[in-house]
Amino acid sequence: MPTPKSIAFLEAAIAADTDACIPWPFYVKKGYGRFTMGGKNCVAHVFACRAVHGPAPTLEHQVAHLCGLKCCVNPRHLLWSTQSENIMDEFILGRKRPSRMPTRRRKTEVKIALRLPAHAGMLPDYD
């Protein structure tokens, strides 16, 4: 059985030695690459993340794009992240304006991010 183009593309993306975005060239829905495998609908960036970084640590974890390009399947740009971490990353990386979120929730997200060592290097230096 020939390898479907989408699987071959994902395998190449996973093996690629590049820091550039690898946009999904096939079917895209709501910004995310999609394909079918064995009759199941799959999300391309989740497949790439799982293949390289392993399964989601918990059920709360989703795949986050560090680059902000939803259809990117470069595993170097993907990581497992909780929704709170994901929202905070978008603030820090400047992809989401805080004004879009209710103030109470925004403060909570900032507190969560400040507690996480993974975000420490990304916060501004207040010397």
Q: Which parts of this chain interact with Zn ion (CB under 5 A)? A: 21, 67, 69, 72, 74, 77
Enumerate the H helices of 16-121 as residue ranges.
44-53, 83-92, 103-115, 117-120
* Residue with Cβ nearer Zn ion (50 or 107): 50
Q: Which is nearer to Zn ion, 16 or 21 (CB)?
A: 21
Q: Does an H or E element contain 15, and which?
A: helix 5-15
Closer to Zn ion by Cβ: residue 13 or 72: 72
- With beta carbons less than 8 A apart as the criterion, state whether 44 and 72 touch: no
Q: Is the CB of 22 or the CB of 113 nearer to Zn ion?
A: 22
Q: Are 63 and 33 in contact (CB under 8 A)?
A: no
Q: Is there a contact between 10 and 48 (Cβ–Cβ < 8 Å)?
A: yes
In whole angstroms, how close is the CB of 48 to Zn ion at the nearest point? 10
CB of 5 vs Zn ion, minimal distance in Å = 20
CB of 104 to Zn ion, least distance (A): 32
Bridge pairing between strands 32-37 and 28-29: antiparallel
What is the closest distance, in whole angstroms, from the C-beta atom of residue 50 to Zn ion in the complex? 17
